[in-house]
Amino acid sequence: MGNAQSPPADPRFASASRAFAEKELEDLRSVFVSLAAQSQSDGQYISPSVFKTYFGLHGPLGDRMFDLVSQQRKDQRLTFQDLVIAKGTYEKGTKDEIEEFIYHLVDVSGDGVLVRSDLQAVLIAMHETIFFVKDSEHGSSSHKDIGDIFLDAATFSKHVDGCAEKCMSLEDFRNWCTLVPSVRKFLGSLLMLPEPGRLGSQVPYLQYWESVDPNMVLLRKEYAWHIGGALSQQELEEWKLLYHSAYNGQSFNTFLGNISNEDGPTVLIIKDKEGYIYGGYASQRWDRHSDFYGDMKSFLFQLYPKVSIFRPSGANSNIQWCAVNFSSEDIPNGIGLGGQANHFGLFLSASFDQGHTFNCTTFGSPCLSKTSQICPEVIECWRVVPKGAQRRHAAVEGTVLERFKEDRHMLNMVGLANSSE
């Protein structure tokens, strides 16, 4: 009877099936059989409630995903063919095909017009799923505030007859995905089998000293999730606070002293007196140099009043800058990222009470603050602790050799290790 009631074969099913390995199709069939049984459909289809519960999708985003995957038939039935066809595009398609699918997904009203309210609903659903918070939770920001800082990075340039506001075109959406890769990761993984740490959902554990008031920390978990969108899963385990100007003093030497014993990448965050929050991810440790160094893993970012990430454009290799105790005006003392000497994408002078941010071809980034000249109010630096690195560090911590290396490195940073430098 089941075969007699089966819908006719969709020609897209055979094409989509070829995108999967045989084992993948078998696993997908097993999932379908289980969910169809829970749907009490005699093995024929999956119901909306069972589908959304299994994939952890709720609200308008879950409704819209079910509608798309079931080919928008509105019959409340999702077949095995539907699932294979949708996943064949959504997970196995080209980058453009996947982003076009996601573009239709975030049109939660399903009217073919993507406006700000559609994205607002999606961001609220994402926030609830990732952070497990409600508006009433103590210390949490409202969903609208979080949504606004992501939405303000978006462009709505498309005019549609009958629509009072401008809409987001597919090209607008692709550009937005570049600026907010955390959103793109999350929306691109919703049909993957649910598991802890699913792509786009992982938030680093933020480790800071007991004496630190959490309300004084710039790096909120929403910001960490945003920055983490440009990093690998291995870099999203734990971030450790190394320096906070309110607790350590606004001192370049103290900053260098606090970070000198730490290997690996760091996240530098600045809040200036205009209230803007921004910074950079430095993939290599801050070492004394007389010129640019670093690699293409570094990037600049904005956190408030809007969020954006700016990765290397390939225009040049002027990535990291860390100059200490140089007397030449051509080598400004301080730390920076991108641009060129005295015209950086982001720069903090060695006085730590001033800096600047300019349009930067290195990262294709704009001025990160309200004005190009900045006065830092709070400065933070976090170490990105790769997965497993804590155990390796513990094995050598405190040995005489390590302490000698650390002391030597600090002297190098401030230019005192070799009098010839």
The answer to whether residues 335 and 257 touch, using CB atoms and an 8 Å cutoff, is no
Nearest to 83 by CA among 121, 50, 42: 50
Q: What is the pLDDT at residue 393?
A: 46
Contacts of 111 (CB under 8 A, 6+ apart): none
228-243 burial by CB neighbour count: b if 16+ within 10 A, else e? bbbbeeebbbbbbbbb
Q: What is the pLDDT at residue 333?
A: 97
Cα distance between residue 73 and residue 9, in whole Å: 15
Q: What is the pLDDT at residue 256?
A: 93
Q: What is the pLDDT at residue 269?
A: 98
Q: What is the pLDDT at residue 196?
A: 64
Question: From the centroid of its chain, how far is CA 302?
Answer: 11
Tokens standing for 52? 């959304």
186-221 burial by CB neighbour count: b if 16+ within 10 A, else e? bbbebbeeeeeebebbbbbebebeeeeeeeebbbbb
Q: What is the pLDDT at residue 417?
A: 43
Is the domain covering 2-187 a CATH 3.40.50.300 domain?
Answer: no
Tokens standing for 379? 């400065």
The answer to whether residues 271 and 260 touch, using CB atoms and an 8 Å cutoff, is no
The answer to whether residues 310 and 363 touch, using CB atoms and an 8 Å cutoff, is yes
Q: What is the pLDDT at residue 309?
A: 98
Cα separations (Å) of 140 from 144, 239, 303?
Answer: 11, 20, 16
Domain ranges for the chain, please list them: 2-187, 234-407
The β-bridge partners of 354 are none
Tokens standing for 197? 């740490």
Digits of tens for pLDDT over the chain (421 positions)?
Answer: 444 455 567 889 999 999 999 999 999 999 999 999 999 999 999 999 999 999 989 889 999 999 999 999 999 999 999 999 999 999 999 999 999 999 999 999 999 999 999 999 999 989 888 887 544 443 344 566 778 999 999 999 999 998 889 999 999 999 999 999 999 999 999 998 766 667 889 999 999 999 999 999 999 999 999 999 999 999 999 999 999 999 999 999 999 999 987 788 999 999 999 999 999 999 999 999 999 999 999 999 999 999 999 999 999 999 999 999 999 999 999 999 999 999 999 999 999 999 999 999 999 999 999 999 999 999 999 999 988 765 444 434 444 344 344 444 444 544 444 433 3
Q: What is the pLDDT at residue 280?
A: 98
